A and B are shown apart, each in its own frame.
Chain A
Amino acid sequence: MVPVRANRSGLAVIILAAVFAAAGCTTTFERQWTEAEQLRLEAAAAGAEWLQTEALLDQARDQAAEGDMDAAWELVDKARFQSEAAVRQAEYESTAWQNRVIK
């Protein structure tokens, strides 16, 4: 199921990037949002996405659309932190899990 979600989200990234590009408004926020979304997809591909990351990014986009950029930045930063942590968690667990196996 993750690849399906990843594909759908990947499409959203492409569409959003295209909309921004068409509007000629590739701002720092939009770039950061897209980077955070790509990190989320990386975590999802590793089967390690955290529960609320996607919702944080959705909320960030909504806040930006409403013009509340302070709230939007805060949400993107949280989402980015979560995705980076999830990727690091997956990398660490790729071997660490073996230390917990009952022997």
Chain B
Amino acid sequence: MKNYAALLLLGLAPLLSLAGPEEDREAFVEYYQARFPDVPFAEFANGIYAIDEDARRQWQDIEEFPPYEFAIEQGESLWHETMPDEAKLADCFAQPVADIRPAYPRFDAGRGEVVTLALAINHCRQAHRLPALPYDSDELISITAYLAYAARGKPVATRVPADEPGALAAYEDGKRFYYSKRGQLNFACADCHVTSVGLHVRADRLSASLGHTTHFPVYRSKLGAVISLHQRFFGCVRDVRAKPFALQSKEFRNLEYFLSYMGNGLEFNGPGARK
């Protein structure tokens, strides 16, 4: 009898490890708060600057003349441009401008997939007889920079509706991606940003994943350009010597969905500035 009970428990073990999104998020937050007990929860929205005092001081100096301001201005201009049928991008979104960024990523039951802000902007353009913008284009990234700026201070509130199995599947897919090792270096996202968080990789300290999505797009000093969250994903995957997925691929959108949910309760503070 004991043997049957042991076998039953063994069989249930994989299921027991599949906690729901809210249990995952609570454990995620508790982990980082235990690792950095002096860092208030809200500070994690500032990424590496929450845990690296020297980098934080440099960032505060950079913020005196934010290098992403040009992107915000360009994005605002594009936001108000008239499309061929006289519509504007704002016409595609039901919310006030400050509430658009917080509405993404979201699971679109009709499309059966996660829709990110960049994807929604391109859907809008295509619906109004404009071609989709490349996902690494200055134009598209600047529009997201404008919307991120408009949403500053709004809380992250990503939803994984319990009555939508596709949403939970997308969330689980993103979670699996986050914790799976890949590439020639055999690294998972979690190896750097959970296990080794706060340690150095060469001269850089590894940031916490809690809050990773709040501040994108970010101006990267080493590139002299504003980049999207998916470009950052692309770079991380390439750096572990795995073949990266395309920007806005299903894999990266689901990863964004998972990470955004982990950041629920933090405030949007994009665009950001990083080394």
| Structural contact, B184 and A50, CB atoms closer than 8 A | yes
* Cα A59 to Cα B27 with chains together (Å): 47
A37 CB, min distance to chain B CBs, angstroms: 14
| Structural contact, B175 and A89, CB atoms closer than 8 A | no
| CB-CB under 8 A for A97 and B183, given A1-B246, A103-B19 | no
| Structural contact, B14 and A89, CB atoms closer than 8 A | no
**Interface 1/0 per residue, B12-44 and A, CB below 8 Å:** 001001110000100110010000000000000
The answer to whether A51 has its CB under 8 Å from any CB of chain B is yes
**What total count of A-B pairs have CB within 8 Å?**
66
| Structural contact, A51 and B182, CB atoms closer than 8 A | no
A53 contact set on B, CB distance < 8 A = 243
A10 CB, min distance to chain B CBs, angstroms: 16
| CB-CB under 8 A for A89 and B182, given A1-B249, A49-B242 | yes
**Interface 1/0 per residue, B241-253 and A, CB below 8 Å:** 1111110010100
The answer to whether A17 has its CB under 8 Å from any CB of chain B is no
* Cα A99 to Cα B191 with chains together (Å): 12
| Structural contact, A97 and B176, CB atoms closer than 8 A | yes
B244 contact set on A, CB distance < 8 A = 51
The answer to whether B180 has its CB under 8 Å from any CB of chain A is yes
Interface size bracket, B side: 20 to 34
The answer to whether A27 has its CB under 8 Å from any CB of chain B is no
Q: Which residue of A lies closest to B23 (CB)?
A: A103
**Complex partner residue of B28 from A50, A95, A102, CB under 8 angstroms:** A102
The answer to whether A98 has its CB under 8 Å from any CB of chain B is yes
Binding site for B on A (CB under 8 A): 1-2, 44, 47-54, 82, 89, 93, 95-103
Beyond the given A98-B179, A100-B194, please list 14 additional residue pairs across the A-B interface where CB-CB is below 8 A.
Answer: A1-B245, A48-B182, A51-B238, A82-B184, A89-B181, A89-B182, A93-B182, A97-B180, A98-B14, A100-B179, A100-B188, A101-B19, A101-B24, A102-B194
Q: List 22 A-B contacts (CB under 8 A).
A: A1-B245, A2-B245, A47-B245, A48-B182, A49-B242, A49-B243, A50-B184, A50-B242, A51-B238, A51-B242, A82-B184, A89-B181, A89-B186, A93-B181, A95-B14, A97-B176, A98-B17, A98-B18, A101-B179, A102-B27, A103-B17, A103-B19
